């Protein structure tokens, strides 16, 4: 079992004719994902890796019944592409694009409240349900079918955590890169609610980083409501105050949002925290294997 995507996912790639869109379309196809359509305005009628290209998301959905979209669209056009996918009836949008203005995300998340559609990202590396489907830029070869759910604010750090989980023999059910921007469509708690209902997910690892309160709020949710084992890793232990580190959301204000604060709250709420990705995987192996 998996969450968000599976082998029945019908994927639409917005921005498929660009360098990143075409490259990652090939990678997603190679993983076994059903990529049924692409969209680039003005290039309808083309094919990329055998995938038909349409001028609009509405045309693509009408012709192919696509239910999921991934965006490889420049930041200045990404907001419009998200609205287009929502209005076309897409149920899940994974936004790889980064650099979207925060004010645009405020408007988009408000618009989504009345729609049957979920946004993951922006600035997300994507989602992988091991052995079923890959949507985004996560490297498929490091995944193994297993029982660990992964939720991460980071990008490349997600790859390292996944690789270590695979190497200790546990594997992953679904891995979600939620994105590191201040405002995102899907948060840690949203993913935990679904993992709680997934019988094939026996434990979850949360990969957080400095900035904001999402990790602290998530830890309190875990303590009150989540019954499966949860493990954690927090990036940014050496980050200086008031410096943005990588992601737009990764900024410490005074003593709020520091790695030390997040680790402390995790431990107080029963989340087992590793100092390194390898240690996180070993903690999981000790309890689950």
Cβ atoms of residues 137 and 96 within 8 Å:
yes
Cβ atoms of residues 63 and 53 within 8 Å:
no
Least Cα distance to 80 among 52, 61, 108 occurs for: 108
Residue labelled with tokens 């925290």? 273
* Active-site annotation holder among 24, 141, 164, 247: 247
**Percent helix, strand and coil across the chain, each rounded to 5?**
35, 25, 40
- Report in angstroms the alpha-carbon separations of 223 from 17, 91, 205: 46, 30, 14
Least Cα distance to 188 among 215, 159, 225, 158 occurs for: 215
Active site residue 247: yes
What's the sign of the alpha-carbon dihedral 193, 198, 202, 206? Answer: negative
- Catalytic residue numbers read 247
């Amino acid at each position: 079992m998996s969450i968000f995507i599976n082998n029945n996912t019908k994927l639409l790639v917005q921005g498929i004719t660009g360098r990143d869109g075409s490259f990652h379309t090939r990678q997603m196809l190679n993983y076994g994902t059903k990529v049924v359509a692409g969209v680039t305005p003005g290039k309808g009628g083309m094919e990329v890796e055998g995938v038909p290209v349409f001028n609009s998301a509405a045309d693509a959905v009408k012709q192919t019944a696509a239910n999921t979209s991934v965006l490889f669209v420049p930041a200045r056009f990404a907001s419009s592409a998200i609205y287009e996918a929502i209005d076309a009836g897409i149920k899940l949008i994974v936004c790889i694009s980064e650099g979207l203005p925060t004010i645009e995300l405020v408007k988009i998340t408000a618009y989504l409240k009345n729609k049957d559609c979920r946004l993951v990202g922006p600035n997300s590396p994507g989602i992988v349900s091991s052995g079923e489907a890959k949507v985004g830029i996560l490297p498929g070869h490091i995944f193994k079918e297993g029982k660990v759910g992964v939720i991460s604010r980071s990008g490349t750090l997600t790859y390292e955590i996944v690789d270590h989980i695979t190497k200790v023999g546990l594997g992953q059910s679904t891995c979600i890169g939620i994105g590191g921007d201040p405002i995102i469509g899907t948060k840690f708690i949203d993913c935990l609610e679904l993992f709680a209902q997934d019988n094939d997910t026996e434990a979850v690892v949360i990969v957080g980083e400095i900035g904001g309160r999402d990790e602290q709020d998530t830890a309190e949710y875990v303590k009150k409501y989540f019954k499966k084992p949860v493990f954690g890793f927090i990036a940014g232990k050496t980050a200086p105050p008031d410096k943005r580190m990588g992601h737009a959301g990764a900024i410490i204000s005074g003593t709020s949002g520091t790695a030390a604060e997040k680790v402390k709250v995790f431990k107080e709420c029963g989340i087992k925290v590793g100092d390194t990705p390898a240690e996180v995987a070993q903690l999981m192996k000790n309890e689950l294997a």
